[in-house]
Amino acid sequence: MVYILAQILGAIGWLFYFSSFFSKRLNKIVFVQILSSIFYCLNYFLLGAWAGLFINAFELFKGIGYYKTDKDKYIFYYTIPIYVLIGMVSEKSILCMIPILASIITGYGTLKSRKAILVTSFIANSTWVIYDLYYLDYVLAFSDTILAIFNLGMILYGYSKYLNRKNVYTVNRKDITLDTLRRIYNLDNEYYDDNYCWDFEEIKKIYQKERSSYILVKDRNTVVGYVNILSIDKSVYDSIDSSNVFFDQIDEKDIIEYSNKDKEYYLTINSIVLKNEYQNKDTVDKIILAIKKYINLKIKHGYNIKEVNSYAINLFEKNILEKLGMNKARNITNECFLYKLELDNKMI
């Protein structure tokens, strides 16, 4: 009876974990994965798999630390001694090293590139299968096998499709079609929560007021991402700076056209969106270069760019903004951060 209950709890944990992939908001993903870890802990407890229990419990608290702070490297390196302690109180055999090594490998991968995450996850999930089978934990052995196969597929797909993709380019021009604006709208709805999306009519109004504000990311003739940079009224810029909540109440009347070279201009990077399969170093570098070129060109043309700000609501945006040299001004929520860069008419 205990064995059957353990399998049921493991299945519930797997269902929670699987469902987290369909959540758009980071806080919901974390919450669902915490629930998943709790059920995994109960599963391993009933099976007497102590290393699996302790590692999952440790990963639960470590994951909360990653979510609540931006000190990923410190958390990873400073918690390594805990793995020694887990090894001392777990199974008195080499078996306990499997989940410990799997956890260390996965943690190390998350500090590196997207490709490293896929490779280390494949190795970790493959080793977990061995541990699960030893305890006849067929539910988790099955789920870890699925995850290992998924990561292997992504690795192979990545090598052939996007990790080394060279066809991506950026373009900034005024003649964007309605079809392209519709693609931008669809990208917003695919990668942003509803709280961070404009409706299609708002997008059209913003574009009509400032037709050069979009940097498109294209693979051949297909729009796979975009950046939107707006010059906005100083009062609206200050509202973004001072607001304790996500502030996107920008109307077309708040957009300032580049016309007066004696005026000070304040920019907001309103959106940075890129399809997941294109989020590799090569494409990220092209986006960063395009943003720098856009801003620097305004300065070269004699416009006094004073400051730039932007929100980051995911790790991809956070990575872009920090590589642009922007500094985190403050946390808005656990998933939203305000970044800022003072230029005073100096090029990035």
pLDDT in tens, 69-78: 656 778 888 8
pLDDT tens profile 84-114 = 999 898 887 888 899 999 989 888 887 776 6
**Does residue 231 belong to any structural domain of this protein?**
yes
Domain hosting residue 71, numbered range? 2-162
**Does residue 347 belong to any structural domain of this protein?**
no
Q: What angle do CA 190, 196, 198 make, to 5 degrees?
A: 80
**Does residue 182 belong to any structural domain of this protein?**
yes
| 185 and 156 housed in the same domain | no
**Does residue 128 belong to any structural domain of this protein?**
yes
| 250 and 322 housed in the same domain | yes
- The domain boundary residue, chosen from 101, 129, 162: 162
| 188 and 229 housed in the same domain | yes
CB 135 within 8 A of CB 2: no
| 198 and 325 housed in the same domain | yes
- The domain boundary residue, chosen from 147, 162, 177: 162
The reply to whether the predicted model has a pTM over 0.85 is no
- How many structural domains compose the chain? 2
| 204 and 279 housed in the same domain | yes
| 145 and 175 housed in the same domain | no
**Does residue 227 belong to any structural domain of this protein?**
yes
pLDDT tens profile 168-192 = 889 998 888 888 899 999 998 888 8
**Does residue 218 belong to any structural domain of this protein?**
yes
| 318 and 248 housed in the same domain | yes
- The domain boundary residue, chosen from 137, 162, 187: 162
Q: Average of pLDDT values for 296-301?
A: 94
pLDDT tens profile 20-38 = 766 655 566 667 778 888 9
Confidence bin at 19 (pLDDT 50/70/90): confident
| 183 and 218 housed in the same domain | yes
